């Protein structure tokens, strides 16, 4: 149900009677993770993808929430942080203080912006990634700080790729997924070739991303918790060979990662906090 227009009265009555809160997400992939894997036991929510029958994304989420509220639904939206990587929201995209970030509400009172690049970043918990990669490689699972080795073994490349994506957005240049496959030593030249005149600002943007982790020691859990906010999660998973073209396909491990993340219940507490806010605001 991508739109509420023309919906039968019985469906509208059902939402009101059962006091469900409609939560729009950017895509069906997000719904499969958040709605089907993480918060399926909470019957007070109806998670809906914004891309059902048309293009999704943050602007579509915003439009659907506005339409739903016009029709007297208790509706909210959750969008990725990368929705702010455009004018006029660049300053909020780079905001390092969590309190200021959450208080800004740049997309309106009923839209919550994830503090991480996208949903895939919540699958990048070091212990979660290590468990899945170790299973794939047929070896023992590393624990504690050792689990971070899998995440950090190519961190510089991921920072540079993320910076290249941001630079591309600022200059209207699309950065293709082929960068994910390029070895670390060849990556700077390939970024330069793809971005052309926009390439010189990649180094500056990469520095700003690294500043999110400073002064915490690189390779620590605390450092990862901070710097991972501004990394392109989907591209990172592709570089780790954990993300295919289609969620649920054999070569795509995102649903497996989502299950592991739910079992550990770490980063996804940020999303739960949004849902708790929605309940309070919807049922006052």
Q: Which listed CATH number (1.20.120, 3.30.110, 1.10.3470, 3.40.50) goes with 9-116+269-282? A: 3.40.50
Residue predicted with more confidence, 211 or 87: 211
- What's the average model confidence in pLDDT over 196-200? 93
How open is the CA angle 104-220-236, to the nearest 5 degrees? 65
* pLDDT above 70 (res 3): no
- What's the average model confidence in pLDDT over 109-123? 97
Sheet harboring 75-79: ordered strands across?
A: 45-49, 21-25, 75-79, 111-113
Burial label for 55, CB within 10 Å (0-12, 13-18, 19+), is exposed
pLDDT at 245: 87
Residue predicted with more confidence, 211 or 4: 211
Distance CA 250, CA 246 (A): 9
**CA Rg value for the chain:** 19
- Could you tell me what percent of the chain has a pLDDT over 70? 92
Distance CA 171, CA 44 (A): 42
Residues 6+ apart with CB under 8 A from 213: 223, 224, 226, 227
**Residue 130 to residues 48, 124, 211, 215, 273: CA-CA distances in angstroms?**
31, 9, 25, 25, 26
Distance CA 102, CA 117 (A): 14
Tokens of 170: 């600022």
* pLDDT above 80 (res 67): yes
Q: pLDDT band at residue 211, thresholds of 50, 70 and 90? A: very high
Q: pLDDT band at residue 31, thresholds of 50, 70 and 90? A: very high
pLDDT at 233: 97
* pLDDT above 50 (res 221): yes
What pTM value is reported for the model? Answer: 0.91
Delimiting residues of CATH 3.40.50 domain(s) in the chain: 9-116+269-282
pLDDT at 12: 46
User: How many other C-beta atoms can be found within 10 angstroms of the C-beta atom of residue 266?
Assistant: 16
Q: pLDDT band at residue 82, thresholds of 50, 70 and 90? A: very high
CA 170 to centroid of chain Cα atoms: 20
Across the chain, what does the average pLDDT equal?
90
pLDDT at 18: 53
pLDDT tens, 8-29? 444 444 444 456 899 999 999 9
Q: pLDDT band at residue 261, thresholds of 50, 70 and 90? A: very high
pLDDT tens, 133-183? 999 899 999 998 899 999 999 999 999 999 999 999 999 999 999 999 999
**Residue 67 to residues 39, 53, 64, 70: CA-CA distances in angstroms?**
24, 16, 5, 5
pLDDT at 6: 53
* pLDDT above 90 (res 56): no
CA 73 to centroid of chain Cα atoms: 25
pLDDT at 125: 94
- Top mean pLDDT of 69-73, 83-87, 231-235 is at 231-235
pLDDT at 52: 75
* pLDDT above 90 (res 54): no
Q: pLDDT band at residue 37, thresholds of 50, 70 and 90? A: very high
* pLDDT above 90 (res 251): no
Compute φ and ψ for 176, nearest 5 degrees.
-80, 165
CA 180 to centroid of chain Cα atoms: 18
Three-state DSSP at 44 gives coil
* pLDDT above 70 (res 111): yes
């Amino acid at each position: 149900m991508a739109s509420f227009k023309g919906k039968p009265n019985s469906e509208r009555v059902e939402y009101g009677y059962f006091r469900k809160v409609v939560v729009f997400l950017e895509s069906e992939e997000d719904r499969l993770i958040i709605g089907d894997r993480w918060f399926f036991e909470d019957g007070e929510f109806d998670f809906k993808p914004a891309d059902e029958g048309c293009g999704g994304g943050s602007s579509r989420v915003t439009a659907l929430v506005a339409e739903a509220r016009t029709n007297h639904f208790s509706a909210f939206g959750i969008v990725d942080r990368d929705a702010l990587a455009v004018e006029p929201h660049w300053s909020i995209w780079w905001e390092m203080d969590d309190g200021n970030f959450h208080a800004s509400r740049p997309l309106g009172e009923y839209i919550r912006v994830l503090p991480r690049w996208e949903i895939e970043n919540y699958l990048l918990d070091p212990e979660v990634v290590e468990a899945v990669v170790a299973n794939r490689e047929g070896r023992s699972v590393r624990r504690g700080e050792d689990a971070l080795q899998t995440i950090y073994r190519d961190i510089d490349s991921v920072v540079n790729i993320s910076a290249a994506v941001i630079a591309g957005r600022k200059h209207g240049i699309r950065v293709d997924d082929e960068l994910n496959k390029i070895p670390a030593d060849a990556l700077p030249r390939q970024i330069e070739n793809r971005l052309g005149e926009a390439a010189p600002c990649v180094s500056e943007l990469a520095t700003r991303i690294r500043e999110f982790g400073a002064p915490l020691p690189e390779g620590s859990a605390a450092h990862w918790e901070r710097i991972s906010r501004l990394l392109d999660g989907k591209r990172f998973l592709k570089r780790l060979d954990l993300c295919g073209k289609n969620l649920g396909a054999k070569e795509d491990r995102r649903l497996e990662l989502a299950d592991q993340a739910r079992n550990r219940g770490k980063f996804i507490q940020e999303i739960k906090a949004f849902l708790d806010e929605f309940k309070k605001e919807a049922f006052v």
